[in-house]
Amino acid sequence: MGCIPLKPPAMPSRGRHQSSSKECHRIMRRIEALDGVIGVIIGRSYGGKSLGAGSSTGSIKIQGRVPGGLKAVTQSAKGLQELFIRTEPGTEEAIAEAILNL
């Protein structure tokens, strides 16, 4: 009998770190629905950290523009969650404004 080759596991579409609070998943889905957004990739989590006074779970802050998109952090139930928002070229400014209005 021959061996059946196994497919390597596919990389999750959201990046390695998939765990996040439901409020963060909700805001990520809203960001992904914006025109010009290709996808949202979850980065590192920092437990016990906060965006500051007055920020609730699901709050988001754009940290800056980088090649290929925007870097951001969102407040999760357990701390901060880094995000990379992959955008179409030239749409970063409009997307950053739209995110502030979510």
Q: How many domains does the chain have?
A: 1
**pTM, rounded to two decimals:** 0.75
Can you give the pLDDT at residue 4? 61
Structural domain that includes position 38: 22-100
17-33 burial: b if 16+ Cβ within 10 Å, else e: eeebbebbbebbebbee
- How confident is the model over 37-93, as pLDDT tens digits? 999 998 888 877 777 777 777 788 999 999 999 999 988 878 888 999 999 999 999
Q: Is residue 12 part of a domain?
A: no
Question: Of 98, 95, 67, 77, whose CA–CA distance to 25 is shortest?
Answer: 77
Q: Is residue 33 part of a domain?
A: yes
Q: Is residue 47 part of a domain?
A: yes
Q: Determine the average pLDDT of the residues in 21-42.
A: 90
Q: State the first-to-last Cα distance of the chain, in angstroms, to the nearest integer.
A: 57
Within the chain, strands assigned E span 37-47, 60-66, 69-75, 79-87
Q: Is residue 8 part of a domain?
A: no
Q: What is the DSSP letter of 34?
A: S
Q: Is residue 50 part of a domain?
A: yes
Q: Is residue 11 part of a domain?
A: no
Q: Is residue 77 part of a domain?
A: yes
Q: Is residue 9 part of a domain?
A: no
